[in-house]
Amino acid sequence: MKKILFLTGTRADFGKLKSLMYAVEEKEGMEAHVFVTGMHMHRKYGLTAIEVEKCGFKNIYRYYNSTQESTMDLTLAKTIEGLSNYIREEHPDLIVVHGDRVEALAGAISGALNNILVAHIEGGEVSGTIDELIRHSVSKMSHIHFVSNELARKRLIQMGEYEGSIFTIGSPDIDVMFSDKLPSLQTVKDYYEIPYQDYGVLMFHPVTTEFEELARYADNLVRAVVGSKLNYIVVFPNNDYGSDTILKAYEAFKNHPNFRVFPSIRFEYFLVLIKNASFLIGNSSAGIREAPYYGLPSINIGSRQNNRAMNDSIINCGYEQADIEDAIDKALNQEHVDSSFQFGSGNSAQLFIAELSKESFWQIPKQKLFNDIIPASGQQ
C-alpha cells in the first residue's frame, strides 16, 4: 500500500489538490493522507480545516503551525518540526506539495531530508515577490514535478531539473471548474446570504516587499470600490505579513449594503461566484488562472502577479485610486473575450494518477543531480 501525503495550508492550495486527493483515495493500492495546517487552522480565516474534513478523507491530521510573531521564517520552522514528527510516525511513500507557500517549502525540506520522494504541483511558474523565491526553492528540494503547461516544464529544465521527472498535467483546479458537481448559483447565494443580482469579487493580498506602502494601497482600493457604487463579494486576504493592514482598511465595508465580506468561501462555491460575477478585482492568482477560463474580466492591481501568464481578459493597473477606478470602467465595458485554456483541459487528476500507477514513477531517484543544458566549461 502506497501512502501519499498531501500537505495543505490554505483554502487555495486545497482547492488545487482536492481532485488529486480523491484520485488517490479511489485508487486501489494507494491511500491518501492529508496534513492540514496554516490558514486552515485559524478561526479568523474561517477555520477551513472543517471544510477539509467534510470532504470525507479517511486520514486527516491537524497541525497548528502559527507562532506568536507569525513571521514566515518561524512559521516555516514550526511546520518543519510538526511535519517531521508526523512523517516519522506514518512513513509516507510520497509527499505532495503545491505552489509557493512556506508550508510547501516545509514539506519539500522535510521530505528531502528524510529521504522521502517529494512531488511539487505547479512548479516552474513565476509568482512575483517573495512567493517566487519560495516556489523555485520548493522545486529544487523536490524530486518530481507536476506542471501546468509547457512553459513551466521548460523553466524547470532551465533550472537544472531532469526532464524525466517532469510531468505536464495542467492545473488541477480546472478539474473542479468544469465539474458537473458544482452547486447552482442560487444555492451559493442562499448559503452565504448574498442578495445581489450583479456583483464583483474582490480579493487583495499583501505584497510583503511593499509593506510600507500597503496601508495607502489598501485605502486607495477601498475608496475606488466604494465610489463605484457597485456590489462586491469580498474575501479576506491570505495570512501573509500585512494582512491586518488590509483588514483594517476593509472596516469601511462594515454595515455597507454593497459589500458582503467573508473570511473564506468554499472552493466550489467560490468558483460558482466568480463564474457568474461581472468581474474580479484585486491581485489574486484567481484573476490570472481561473477567471480567464470562464472568460471573466479581471482587474490585476499592482506587482503581485508580475510576469505571470497574461490574457486579453486581464486588465492590469497601478495602485492609485484613479487607476483602479479606470480599470473598473474598462471591466464593465469590456467586450466578450474567449475563454483561455493555458493550464490544461480538466483531466489533471487522471494524468496524475496514471503516473503514480507506473512502476517507473517509484524508481525516480531521491538523489538529485543538476542536469546541465549545455556541458560545463572544459567538458565535452
> What would the DSSP string read from start to end of 100-119?
TSHHHHHHHHHHHHTT-EEE
**For the chain, which ranges sit under pLDDT 70?**
68-70, 128, 305-310, 336-341, 375-380
The domain ranges of the chain are: 2-176+346-363, 185-332
The string of DSSP letters for 208-236 reads GGGHHHHHHHHHHHHHHHHHHT--EEEE-
Question: Which cell is 113 given?
Answer: 531530508
* Segment holding 54, helix H or strand E: helix 49-54
Which pLDDT does position 315 carry in this prediction? 92
Closest CA to 302 of 202, 238, 221: 221
Residue 49's closest CA among 18, 83, 8, 21?
Answer: 8
Q: Residue 267: which H helix or E strand, with range? A: helix 267-275
Multiple choice CATH, 185-332, 3.40.630.30, 3.40.190.10, 3.40.50.2000, 3.40.50.150:
3.40.50.2000
The three-state secondary structure class of 201 is strand
The counts of H helices and E strands in the chain are 14, 13
> Between 3.90.1170.50, 3.40.50.1220, 3.30.1360.70, 3.40.50.2000, what CATH number should domain 2-176+346-363 receive?
3.40.50.2000
Q: Report pLDDT for 66.
A: 83
Place of cell 531521491: 366
- The C-alpha atoms of residue 321 and residue 84 are separated, in whole angstroms, by 46
**Domains 2-176+346-363 and 185-332 fall in the same CATH topology:** yes
pLDDT score at 339: 65
Phi and psi for 221 in degrees, rounded to 5? -65, -45
Confidence (pLDDT) at 380: 47
